[in-house]
A and B are shown apart, each in its own frame.
Chain A
Amino acid sequence: MPRVRVDGHTIDLGNLDKVLYPQTGFSKAHVIDYYRQIAPALLPHLAGRPLSLRRCPDGVEGDCFFEKRCPGHRPAWLPVHALPSGSSGGIDFCGVDGLPALVWLASQGVLELHPFLHVADDPDRPRVLVFDLDPGPPAGLADACRIGQLLRRMLAETGLQCWAKTSGGKGLHVYAPLNTTVTYARTKRFARAVAEVLSRNDPEGVTATMAKAQRSGRVFIDWSQNDRNKTTAAVYSLRVGRKPQASAPLDWDEIDAALADGDTEPLRFHPDAVLRRVAEHGDLFRPVLGCTQTLPG
């Protein structure tokens, strides 16, 4: 088995040629290499956070599953974050504190990284307000972008700036950083009220309800992820889908431009395109970590 040294840690890399995205031939080697190259932009967004992992050991067309408990065969140097869960003891989640941890997870067939919205040391304080805009077919990314722009202006009226990223599928994630004193009870209630007001004003285009029947042709604004037990796919995380795509930060102006062109396809990014964008523009999502804002009300 090939063995690499990453910042002083030895990692075994098995099955590097295994194709994880059969449609395009994107292999485990590609996955590891993508995470290695995106690390400088990605790592700050994972620091201190417990992670839920989505693994596809047999590729995206095989069984994929979410893993909360950090595998027992993890290397001793991999950080773990214990979070209480249920009545007996807690769950040890994997963490990522540097390149070796990221490479090790990728070597385990982990495709998606889903951090909690809080850091392990301060589990009652969400750092951001999150809206997951998920279009139900025949609605698509363009509809999510249109609603995203309206949501952005609405939040601006309440005094909150927000940043957007593609989900890496057909949706849009909108993050309003807080990084101040707040509780999940407040962020969840606020996010839900925002979603319900948008839905009430545009019942044909927006729903705030999870039920599949309600979602067809509408953009579902998922407010429920503002919860201490929920996770959202990290910025720059690869996503499980037919073709390899990563969750990529977007500039609001490029969303406007794409909507004006009537074509949002250019807003979907292959991992290589994400790497090129970061090389060119840096981490567009960096302000989400530093910007301090107060939840209105």
Chain B
Amino acid sequence: MPTSFWTGTVSFGLVTIPVRLATVVQAHGSNFHLLHDADHARLTRVMVCPVHETPVPPDHQTRGYEIEPDTFVPVSYAELDSVAPEASRSIEIEDFVTADAIDPVYHDRPYYLTPSEEVAKPYRLLVQILADTGRVGIGRFVLRGREHLAALRAVDGALCLVTLHWAEAVRPRAALAPKADADEELVAAMTAALDELATDFDPARLTDPGHERLQQLVEKKRSESGTVEAPVPDLGAGEPGEAGGEPDALMAALQKSLERARAGETGTAATEDA
């Protein structure tokens, strides 16, 4: 089972269903990290002020809302919190729409909703009414501090949630469709050609060739020239004024401690033998 990262409830009318949210899509991106070519140390991200040319620590980082290039309204984290949606662990279904009423361009991220603990009955109820009516529940909920629009569908006896884009984020396409009419004979001919290729959608048949080629490349390189390891940084100097601050001095002192420890060990053993 995928790991759930959000628990809460789905509610409509008087029914409340405890659920967990689990990711659907595995991050099958890349395992690549940025390394320093000289020693293969993994690079870290540092926020640098281009004017001062120095790294800026988190407590000196603030946010600015861009009005126009290089003109900002400063907004603090506390102020951002004041307009954040109220934390809530409930998905309120407000409408039930037909499945094909949702334009696919609105689909954002899919999640599985699994029943929480042993309260499976109300969950089954919602699955069944969605499946029987062919309808999709539309609601809103708060995830990671942001309010999302969501569609709940019944799929294979379980609930699937897809977050939806807000309308203002979707570009209009009214001007996209050309005005010219299609030739009727051509439409008939092309429809026949399409019927030849019509089949069921089978994603398992369609694998990602780029991913496979990359895996082959990595395996080949690994068997040919092995792997490289990130270096462990030197012990380095201690804090100012610290005795044994020199790495060599600390190591030498500990070496003496170890030797004395070993001498004590053999001493004890000798006494026991005697």
A residues adjacent to B (C-beta < 8 A): 1, 14-15, 58, 62-63, 65, 71-73, 84, 86-89, 150, 153-158, 183, 185-186, 189-190, 192-194, 196-198, 200-201, 209, 211, 296-297
Q: How far is the CA of A73 from the CA of B21 in the complex (A)?
A: 13
Are A201 and B258 in contact, with the CB atoms below 8 A? yes
Contact partner, B242, options A86, A155, A157, A186, Cβ 8 Å = A186
The distance in angstroms between the C-alpha atoms of A70 and B8, with both chains bound, is 14
Contact between B235 and A189, CB atoms less than 8 A apart? yes
A185 to B239, Cβ gap below 8 A? yes
Select A193's contact among B87, B117, B118, B251, beta carbons within 8 Å.
B251
In whole angstroms, what is the CA distance A150 to B268 when docked? 13
Check B3 against A65 for contact (C-beta < 8 Å): yes
Chain A nearest CB, measured from B78 CB (Å): 10
Report the stretch among B177-185, B199-207, B259-267 that lies at the interface. B259-267
Q: 19 extra interchain contacts, Cβ-Cβ under 8 A, other than A197-B254, A201-B258, A211-B229?
A: A1-B118, A14-B117, A15-B118, A62-B1, A87-B47, A153-B261, A153-B262, A153-B264, A154-B258, A157-B261, A185-B238, A186-B239, A189-B238, A192-B235, A196-B235, A198-B258, A297-B242, A297-B244, A297-B253
User: Whole-angstrom distance from the CB of A59 to the nearest CB of chain B?
Assistant: 12
Q: Which one of A157, A189, A194 contacts B260 once the chains associate, using CB atoms below 8 Å?
A: A157
* 7 residue pairs, one from A and one from B, having the closest CB atoms: A153-B261, A297-B244, A157-B257, A154-B261, A197-B254, A14-B117, A157-B260
Sample of 16 A–B contacts (CB below 8 Å): A1-B117, A15-B118, A71-B7, A88-B77, A150-B262, A150-B265, A154-B257, A157-B258, A157-B261, A158-B257, A183-B239, A186-B238, A193-B254, A196-B235, A209-B232, A296-B243
Among candidates B117, B238, B254, residue contacting A154 with C-beta atoms closer than 8 Å: B254
- Judge if B236 is at the interface, Cβ distance under 8 Å: yes
| Any A CB within 8 A of the CB of B250 | yes
The interface bits of chain B over 156-199 (1 if a CB of A lies within 8 angstroms of the residue's CB, else 0) are: 00000000000000000000000000000000000000000000
A58 to B117, Cβ gap below 8 A?
no
Chain A residues in 8 Å Cβ range of B6: 72
In angstroms, how far is the closest chain B Cβ from the Cβ of A13?
Answer: 11
CA A60 – CA B3 in complex, angstroms? 14
Do the beta carbons of A14 and B235 come within 8 Å of each other?
A: no
Chain B residue at minimal CB-CB distance from A201? B258
> What mask results when residues 2 to 20 of chain B are scored 1 for a CB within 8 Å of chain A, else 0?
0100111000000000000
- Pairwise interchain contact A89-B77, C-beta atoms closer than 8 A: yes
Q: Size of chain B's interface in residues, with CB distance under 8 A? A: 37
**Beta-carbon contact of B254 and A73 below 8 Å:** no
Of A63, A72, A86, the contact of B1 (CB 8 Å cutoff): A63
Is the CB–CB distance between B255 and A197 below 8 Å?
yes
Taking a contact as CB atoms under 8 Å apart, the answer to whether B261 and A87 are in contact is no
Give Cα distance in the complex from A224 to B1, angstroms.
32
**Of residues A157, A185, A200, which shows the largest number of chain B Cβ atoms within 10 Å of its Cβ?**
A157
Judge if B61 is at the interface, Cβ distance under 8 Å.
Answer: yes
Whether A297 lies near B238 (C-beta < 8 A) is: yes
Tell whether, in the assembled complex, residue A153 and residue B3 are in contact, meaning their CB atoms are under 8 Å apart.
no
A154 to B8, CA, bound (A): 53
Among B47, B118, B250, B264, max chain A CB count under 10 A is at B250
Q: Which residue of A87, A196, A201, A297 has the most chain B CB atoms within 10 A of its CB atom?
A: A297
Max chain B C-beta neighbours (<10 A), residue from A15, A183, A196, A197: A197
Say how far B172's CB is from chain A's closest CB, in angstroms.
Answer: 33
B29 at the interface (CB under 8 A from A): no
Chain B residues positioned under 8 Å from A14 (CB to CB): 117-118
Contact in complex: A193, B247 (CB < 8 Å): yes
- The reply to whether A193 and B250 contact each other, CB–CB distance below 8 Å, is yes
> Could you tell me the distance in whole angstroms from the C-beta of B220 to the nearest C-beta in chain A?
21
Q: Does B89 contact A (CB under 8 A)?
A: yes
Are A58 and B1 in contact (CB-based, < 8 A)? yes
Known A72-B87, A153-B265; contact A87-B254, beta-carbon cutoff 8 A? no
Determine the chain A residues whose CB is within 8 A of the CB of B258 once the complex forms. 150, 154, 157, 197-198, 201
Cβ contact within 8 Å between A72 and B257: no
> Distance (Å) between the CB of B226 and the closest chain A CB?
10
Q: Which residue of B lies closest to A202 (CB)?
A: B258
Tell me which residues across on chain B come within 8 A of A62, comparing CB atoms: 1
Alpha-carbon distance between A296 and B247 when the two chains are bound, in angstroms: 14
